Structure 1
Amino acid sequence: MSEKHIAVANILMDLEAAMRDLNLWHQEVPPPQALASDQPFAIDTLTFTQWLQFLFIPKMYQLVEQRAALPEACAIAPMAHEYFRPQVIVADTVVAELARLDRLLSTP
């Protein structure tokens, strides 16, 4: 496994921990039709945190486990910042983990 795959796995674990610490980890899986959205971030069927938990994180773990090619660019932190900006919860740790992932995947 490459160093980059290991680093991605570590960030994903930290991201999940940050989400759990802030009670952003959902207990119920959304219905299959919500997970089948073809919109960016499944914005039409899921909240941003649901998208992270049920689509993005599992897909990234799958790429790591299969030692598959990782995305060559990533820009999720700006979306997270916009999502959390009007919220009462301070989710700086989640945004910071996503920024770490963005930097790692966007660096050759």
Structure 2
Amino acid sequence: MIFDLSKSFLVKLEKLLKQHHLWSQQPPSEVAMASTAPFACDSMNFEEWLQFIFIPKMTLLIEHKQPLPVNMAIAPMAKHVWLSIPERNDLIVLLTQFDQLLAQNHRVNV
């Protein structure tokens, strides 16, 4: 159940990123991808991190039925980056819901 819901969130996230023209055809450089900073904020935009790091890693976890993170707190970063851009509020709402889903799933399974 949690894996299906999580996959659904990832599909919605990709769709919204594309609708907002935030989906890139060009991946970041290998150096950018190797960043160890939170959200790779020193080497790429937040939307690039979502596309090239977050979505692929979460997809792998889901496909392999591995434990999902419980305290992602991605929504606060989305708010920080996009709060002044009202038309991106739907992205913030979706990421808030995803954070809540994973946190709630953890509480249910503890």
TM-score range, shorter chain: over 0.9
Residue type of the partner of 1:27?
Q
Which residue is equivalent to 2:78?
80
What are the ranges of 5 or more consecutive residues in structure 1 without an aligned counterpart? none
Which residue is equivalent to 1:104?
101
Cα-Cα RMSD: 1.1
Residue type of the partner of 1:53?
Q
Tell me if structure 2 keeps the 8 A contact 1:8–1:64.
yes
**Mapped partners of 1:55, 1:26: distance in 2:** 13
Tell me if structure 1 keeps the 8 A contact 2:9–2:98.
yes
Count the aligned residue pairs. Answer: 105
Q: TM-score, normalised by structure 1?
A: 0.92
**Mapped partners of 1:33, 1:86: distance in 2:** 29
Q: TM-score, normalised by structure 2?
A: 0.90
List 4+ stretches of structure 1 deviating above 6 A. Answer: none
The structure carrying a bigger helix percent of its residues is 2
**Mapped partners of 1:58, 1:86: distance in 2:** 27
Which residue is equivalent to 2:69?
71
Which residue is equivalent to 2:17?
19
Q: Once the two structures are aligned, what percentage of the paired residues are identical?
A: 36
What are the ranges of 5 or more consecutive residues in structure 2 without an aligned counterpart? none
**Mapped partners of 1:78, 1:90: distance in 2:** 17
Which of 43, 46, 49 is the equivalent residue of 1:48?
Answer: 46
Which residue is equivalent to 1:94?
91
